[in-house]
Amino acid sequence: MQTIEISDKLYKKILAHRHGEESISKTIERKFKQEKPEKKSKALQEIDEIRKGKFYIRTQVEEALKD
Q: In this predicted model, what pLDDT tens digit does every residue of 17-66 receive, in sequence order? A: 898 889 988 888 887 776 556 666 777 777 777 778 766 778 888 888 88
Give the model's pLDDT for residue 40: 67
Quote the pLDDT of residue 33.
Answer: 73
pLDDT value at position 36? Answer: 54
Dist. CA 29–CA 44, nearest whole Å? 21
3-state SS string over the chain? CCCCCCCHHHHHHHHHCCCCCCCHHHHHHHHHHHHCCCCCCHHHHHHHHHHCCCCCCHHHHHHHHHC
The pTM of this model reads 0.45
14 versus 53: which is more confidently predicted? 14
